[in-house]
Chain A
């Protein structure tokens, strides 16, 4: 188990090295530079050159790469060109937004998806099952950002119930926070409900067909208890696996949803940095996302081993 973990972490570090090299190459291929972003539309060429020199962008690329890795080893992701703070600070400021969004969406997706999946499995073959499965597939086919725009149109423009964007910190105003997160989290979560519902249903159906469940039923254990006690725990395993995948999808989706609802999260930080050539933020932000993604998957694997005693890592 420990050896497995060490192996996984070592290979995760390798993956992160690949990622950081990749982002560095990617960034240096980009035409255009940060100087033009600091200046006005009509900025003169000299003006741009002065800004470039001020930010040390005139140094050769290998000097910049080496100094970046040097700083990374000391836990320093560097200084943003534009935000007047370190990359670490910038990310820490925005993490709560992205985490709120991703976790809320995950909760919505799991709660709705698992319940729908159980209902469909228990009422296998009924109209409820069929309509849930049809809806699940429709949900998988909806572009999330478009659903967000439609949500803005219905709930913000037409009905005026919810704000169409912006973020309110939880500690500052819990009600405002809930209102500001409602549309984005539902938009993001709802597109994943279908996937979870489908997985839950099929693994529940598997389990419900197993001998021990049939035995329990035959012994007169109430249907609710059968589902809750015997079937559900075992049906959970594939759901956990897919949850790992979904966290990745949600992180990717959050990037776009933050854009639609103008939420100040990590995703918008990165997209803004890409568009404004804020190199240190792009590198740090992508590395962080890769880090989260890789380690979520390690945790999911461990959880898997915990829930399913048959899985042992040698």
Chain B
């Protein structure tokens, strides 16, 4: 298995990029030359120089340090969304796929949520709850759970009719046991692939939420907040806007490659349209 992963170019490059971003996020305190919240009104909108590698923003804060710390916040949000989406999506999808009486009702409610573009749903929920890290996580979880639930439900539907589930049932295994031991374990591959892509989507969406002003409150550095700070100074200080965008791109690219690699190895039948 490991050999197959290591032979997959997407997986290796994506994994390397993601580990790089992860290390940067974990070591932000050590690498960052400045406190990402320290103001300096005497060097506002300063162009990049030896002290400030990526320049300073309108508060005179070091953009390089803010991007480093921003990666940490953005990754935490992405990770929480992945965990919660995985949890709720699995629960809802499994119940929906396994309990036929509830299937139609649950799926209609999920359709209701999926009738909005997810980003709009997240913006609306974020606007209602108010900007904070936790609320951004809630908004994105609500937006992406229906998709996960669908994937899980689809694989549950396939697996539940399979021979070994029939066999387990014939041997007198309980519903819960069948659901967890047999069905969910076999849905893990597609779920993992889906969650990797949701991680990528969540990082992109967090940036949008912060940019619109319904993400974590400033001065918290997140990729989206830094870009939002920079947009008013796009002509005077383009570096504030440009660098966090590149950081997003690298992070998301890493995750997308990783997801492609996982999919190729875990479930070669699936193609890009599964996203």
Q: Residues of A with Cβ closer than 8 Å to B?
A: 11, 14-16, 18-19, 22-23, 26-27, 29-31, 137-138, 140-143, 145-147, 149-150, 152-153, 157, 195, 198-199, 202, 238, 241-242, 248-249, 251-253, 255-256, 259, 267, 270-271, 274-275, 282, 286, 289-290, 293-294
Q: Which residues of B contact A259 (CB under 8 A)?
A: 212
B242 cross-chain contacts in A, Cβ below 8 A? 150, 153
Known: A141-B249, A145-B211. A18 touches B271 (CB 8 A): no
Within 8 A of A (CB), among B115-170: 115-120, 123-125, 127-128, 130
Cβ-defined partner of B241 (8 Å) among A153, A242, A270:
A153
How many residues of chain B get a CB closer than 8 Å to chain A's CBs?
Answer: 44
* A253 / chain B contacts, CB cutoff of 8 Å: 117, 119
A146 touches B273 (CB 8 A): no
**With A141-B200, A146-B227, A202-B272 in contact, is A19–B127 under 8 Å at CB?**
no
Given contacts A26-B124, A289-B120, whether A137 and B245 have CB atoms under 8 Å apart is no
Give the nearest-CB partner of B104 in chain A. A11
Give 30 A-B contacts (CB < 8 Å), ordered by A residue.
A11-B111, A19-B112, A30-B127, A137-B253, A140-B252, A140-B256, A141-B248, A142-B248, A143-B227, A143-B248, A143-B252, A145-B211, A145-B227, A146-B241, A149-B241, A150-B242, A195-B272, A195-B275, A198-B272, A199-B273, A202-B272, A248-B117, A252-B118, A255-B117, A255-B120, A256-B212, A270-B120, A289-B116, A289-B117, A293-B116
Contact B212 A15 (CB under 8 A): no
Q: In the complex, are the beta carbons of B272 and A290 less than 8 A apart?
A: no
Across-interface contacts of A294 in B (CB, < 8 A): 115
Q: CA–CA, A252 to B207, complex, Å?
A: 14
Give complex CA distance A239, B244 in Å: 33
Residues of B65-120 whose CB lies within 8 A of A: 108-109, 111-113, 115-120
Q: Chain A residues near B44: list those with CB within 8 A.
A: none
Least Cβ–Cβ distance between A295 and chain B, in angstroms: 10
Closest chain B residue, CB of each to CB of A248: B117
Q: Could you tell me the dominant secondary structure of chain A's interface residues?
A: helix
CA distance A238 to B271 in the complex (A): 11
12 extra A-B contacts, CB within 8 A, seeds A19-B115, A256-B119: A140-B252, A142-B245, A143-B208, A143-B249, A149-B230, A149-B245, A153-B235, A199-B272, A252-B117, A255-B119, A256-B211, A286-B124
Min Cβ gap B247→A in Å is: 10
Instruction: Evaluate whether A30 and B273 lie within 8 angstroms (CB atoms) in the complex, with A15-B108, A157-B234 already known.
Output: no
CA–CA, A16 and B108, complex, Å: 10
Query: Which B-chain residue is minimally distant from A31 (CB atoms)?
Result: B130
With A18-B109, A199-B272 as contacts: A271 and B115 at CB distance below 8 Å: no
- Chain B residues with CB below 8 A from A199, complex form: 271-273
